[in-house]
A and B are shown apart, each in its own frame.
Chain A
């Protein structure tokens, strides 16, 4: 739509409402959180201040550095596994399935789980991987093992499986979108020139789909990094993640300034990744031309 001509003030005034709402209830809270990160903890809660003590503590106290590094590691693993499952899936749907109907149906099947409660999808792994859960009892019933293995639940592996399961669709969506947009004649041209399927993939398809991979990886990584549910449901003592730390700073540990500093750190990291992925995407597009 083109900019409207002379609209009455009342009508334009209406548009001020969402602006004001977003400014007051979204922008200001984020800014305040960043500010509280510099405050000092003092009984009973905290006092305004400007000091870097909270950040120093986050970067020097092994209690926090270990958890931050572990969360990074788990998020990277989840991203890698989601890519390993999601890319071939998207590739198959776009290039191997001939019928549009079947392709759309299969794509829907991949996306539908996103509409099913995220909490429940995490929870269901608890009933599968548990000590007397579905997997252990099935293995016993089949005679594979005699006693339940406790290797399945309450560890980092369980967390990686659960998070990968939850976030695979987020990886498939953008990759599917870019693969679908690759002109089929490019691939035919490559084949006509006698290039084998593997080389066609690496020389033509892979570079053209990089944007989708970056978008999917960014989304998966950020979501996994800040995940709130898996560490509590299926993670164990060695599975404390940033989300647990934040919960305790705003709960039992009652240290809002430290918690706000940590949340700010997450904010900065996620925004840096988003910025980087936008740049990478743009650079990729320029290189293609």
Chain B
């Protein structure tokens, strides 16, 4: 780095401060998950695994975790299939209402989740879809379409159209061209969108809150537990989720780099 002016040195301190602000709270969460005390205070009381043992013994929490994994997997599978199709349609065809269609797909990304949740709740009630994990899956798959469509479309825009044409000229049908030419080219975008959709669905609260029934997801479990007060078990499951997220980030960076 070149020699810095006084205010640039000050900026280093500032940036360091902002990064501390971003990371210290997450460190606290992990730190207190190993702290042998039921209150989250300093000085630390000593090391313990007991909050992790409590998580493993908490059947409600584990059930909610299972539900979350099922919901996120199902929603991701649906949103990836529909979203990829939608991106191909938008990329390939001009049709009346195309702009509206595209904006509608992207709308849930910029709207607060609770507006989308309420809209879906109203509609499901009218057509008779009961509040349940199925309703949550449909809701998530729909709300996350924008993630898939924007990523896949960005990738499609960079493709060379001549490849698909060459494939057609060589006698490949549209399905075969898709499978052997287009799909391999957009695979990184689909993978990235899938990871992002899974993470977002796994963590989603507002839409889930309105659509879920008796069976709940992990974030809703944590959310409703926290309204009553803090338990260090939440720190432990929280630390596990942080670890899993970091694993996912490393995985996605690795995956996306290899395909380039």
A interface residue numbers (CB < 8 A to B): 1-5, 7-8, 11-12, 14-15, 17-19, 21-23, 25-30, 32-33, 36, 85, 88-89, 91-93, 96-99, 106, 109-110, 112-113, 115-121, 123-128, 130, 132-134, 136-138, 141, 165, 168-169, 219, 222-223, 225-229, 232-233, 243, 246-247, 250, 256, 259-260, 263, 266-267, 270, 274
A-B contact pairs, 15 of them (CB 8 A): A3-B93, A25-B138, A33-B122, A92-B11, A92-B12, A93-B15, A97-B1, A126-B230, A127-B28, A223-B112, A228-B206, A243-B112, A246-B118, A263-B119, A266-B115
Docked Cα-Cα span, A17 to B85, in Å, equals 8
Q: Known contacts A137-B41, A263-B119: does B82 contact A124 (CB below 8 Å)?
A: no
Q: Known contacts A117-B238, A123-B234, A260-B122: does B113 contact A26 (CB below 8 Å)?
A: no
Q: How far is the CB of A239 from chain B (nearest CB, A)?
A: 14
* A110 pairs with B19, CB closer than 8 A: yes
Docked Cα-Cα span, A267 to B19, in Å, equals 33
| A98, A233, A259: the one within 8 Å of B226 (CB) | A233
Which of B46-54, B56-64, B69-77, B101-109 is near enough to bind chain A? B101-109
* B234 pairs with A85, CB closer than 8 A: no
Residues of B in contact, count (CB < 8 Å): 87
Question: B residues within 8 A CB of A169?
Answer: 22
Q: Known contacts A17-B85, A18-B145, A109-B22: does B111 contact A222 (CB below 8 Å)?
A: yes
Nearest opposing residue in chain B for A102, CB measure: B1
* B156 pairs with A118, CB closer than 8 A: no
Docked Cα-Cα span, A55 to B100, in Å, equals 27
Q: Known contacts A96-B11, A98-B1: does B203 contact A118 (CB below 8 Å)?
A: yes
Which of A7, A21, A225, A243 has the most chain B CB within a 10 Å cutoff?
A21
Docked Cα-Cα span, A247 to B206, in Å, equals 10
| B110, B124, B219: the one within 8 Å of A270 (CB) | B110
* A165 pairs with B245, CB closer than 8 A: no
Question: B residues within 8 A CB of A168?
Answer: 18, 21-22
* A123 pairs with B238, CB closer than 8 A: yes
* A121 pairs with B114, CB closer than 8 A: no
State whether the Cβ of B86 lies closer than 8 Å to any Cβ in chain A.
Answer: yes
Question: A residues within 8 A CB of B18?
Answer: 85, 89, 110, 168
Q: Known contacts A19-B101, A88-B11, A168-B18: does B203 contact A260 (CB below 8 Å)?
A: no
